[in-house]
Structure 1
Amino acid sequence: MMRTISVVTPVHPPHTRFLPEAYESLCAQELPEGWSWEWVIQHDGDAESEPSFGDPRVTFSASPAAGAAGARNMALARSRGEFVRNLDADDLLVDGALRRDVEVLVRHAHVGWVTSAALDLLPDGEVVSWASGDPGEGVVEPGWMLDVFISGEWRLPVVPGTMCVRRDLLLALGGWMALPRSEDTGLLMALQTVSAGYFIATPSMLYRKHGVQVTAGNLHNDPVDKKLRYGMIVDRAQALRHMYTQPAR
Structure 2
Amino acid sequence: MTNLISVITAVHGPVAEHLPDAYKSLLDQQLPDGWDWEWVIQEDGETDAVRPYLPDDHRVSFGQGRHGRAGVARTLALPRARGQYVKVLDADDMLTPGALARDLAALTDHPGICWATSRVLDLLPDGSTVGFDQDPPEGPVERGAVLDHWSTHSYRAQVHPATLFVRRNVLLALGGWMALPASEDTGLLMALNAVSRGWFTAETGLLYRKWPGQSTSQAAHTHEGEWAARMAVVEARARALAALPGWRIDA
1:29 equivalent in alignment to 2:32: no
Counterparts of 1:167-182 in structure 2, within 5 Å, are 167-182=168-183
One-letter amino acid matched to 1:92 = M
One-letter amino acid matched to 1:60 = F
**Where does the alignment leave 5 or more consecutive residues of structure 2 unmatched?**
none
> 2:202 maps to what in 1?
201
Contact persistence 2:46–2:66 (CA under 8 A): yes
**Aligned pair partner of 1:125 in 121, 124, 127:** 127
The separation in 2 between residues aligned to 1:121 and 1:69, in whole angstroms, is 23
3-state SS, counterpart of residue 191 of structure 1: helix
The separation in 2 between residues aligned to 1:148 and 1:130, in whole angstroms, is 15
> 1:225 maps to what in 2?
226
> 1:42 maps to what in 2?
42
1:245 shift after superposition: 7.3
**Aligned pair partner of 1:114 in 110, 116, 121:** 116
One-letter amino acid matched to 1:219 = A
The separation in 1 between residues aligned to 2:154 and 2:128, in whole angstroms, is 30
3-state SS, counterpart of residue 175 of structure 1: coil
1:222 shift after superposition: 1.1
- CA deviation string 1:155-192 (max 9, x = no partner): 11111000000000000000011111100000000000
The separation in 2 between residues aligned to 1:218 and 1:52, in whole angstroms, is 30
Contact persistence 1:116–1:199 (CA under 8 A): yes
Contact persistence 1:4–1:83 (CA under 8 A): yes
> 2:7 maps to what in 1?
7
**Where does the alignment leave 5 or more consecutive residues of structure 1 unmatched?**
none
Contact persistence 1:113–1:197 (CA under 8 A): yes
> 1:98 maps to what in 2?
100
3-state SS, counterpart of residue 7 of structure 1: strand
> 2:84 maps to what in 1?
82
Counterparts of 1:53-72 in structure 2, within 5 Å, are 53-72=55-74
The separation in 2 between residues aligned to 1:97 and 1:109, in whole angstroms, is 20
One-letter amino acid matched to 2:193 = Q
1:33 shift after superposition: 1.2
The separation in 1 between residues aligned to 2:148 and 2:188, in whole angstroms, is 15
Contact persistence 2:114–2:167 (CA under 8 A): yes
The separation in 1 between residues aligned to 2:3 and 2:218, in whole angstroms, is 39
- CA deviation string 1:29-59 (max 9, x = no partner): 0001110000000000012152441110111
Count residues in correspondence: 245
The separation in 1 between residues aligned to 2:131 and 2:90, in whole angstroms, is 19
Runs of 4 or more, structure 1, over 3 Å off, are none
One-letter amino acid matched to 1:141 = E
One-letter amino acid matched to 1:31 = L
Question: Root-mean-square deviation (CA), in Å?
Answer: 1.2
> 1:155 maps to what in 2?
156
1:244 shift after superposition: 3.8
> 2:188 maps to what in 1?
187
Identical aligned pairs, as a percentage? 48
> 2:16 maps to what in 1?
16
One-letter amino acid matched to 2:29 = Q
The separation in 2 between residues aligned to 1:228 and 1:52, in whole angstroms, is 36
Contact persistence 1:194–1:244 (CA under 8 A): no
- CA deviation string 1:111-132 (max 9, x = no partner): 000000011111011123231x
The separation in 2 between residues aligned to 1:108 and 1:166, in whole angstroms, is 13
One-letter amino acid matched to 1:107 = D
The separation in 2 between residues aligned to 1:184 and 1:108, in whole angstroms, is 24
